[in-house]
Amino acid sequence: MLAAVTMAAVPLVAFAAPANAATEYANCTALRADYPHGVGKTGAVDSTSGTPVTNFYVDDDLYNANTKSDRDKDGIACEKA
């Protein structure tokens, strides 16, 4: 009986599963298959001489995994109207 009481007093420790890493896409064609207007970081504004893209997907981790695809360094990777 004492063993049952002792076991009940031991706190259970749970560990959170690690978050999934953001996907790194090989190129813009692959990224746009999932995000047709591109992926940007919070607060990014499309730098263009024409109409800026405003409907890109905002996700800082996903953008950071794909910064190589942000050719104009405006905070949006693979933007497309």
With helix as H, strand as E and coil as C, how does 18-44 read?
Answer: CCCCCCCCCCHHHHHHHCCCCEECCCC
- How does pLDDT run across 7-61, given as a tens digit for each residue? 555 555 555 545 668 999 999 999 999 999 999 999 999 998 899 999 999 999 9
**Which backbone phi and psi does 5 adopt, to 5 degrees?**
-70, -40
Work out the average pLDDT over 59-71.
Answer: 98
| Spatial distance between the Cα atoms of 27 and 18, rounded to a whole number of angstroms | 26
Per-residue model confidence (pLDDT) at position 80:
92
- The full set of domain ranges for the chain reads 23-81
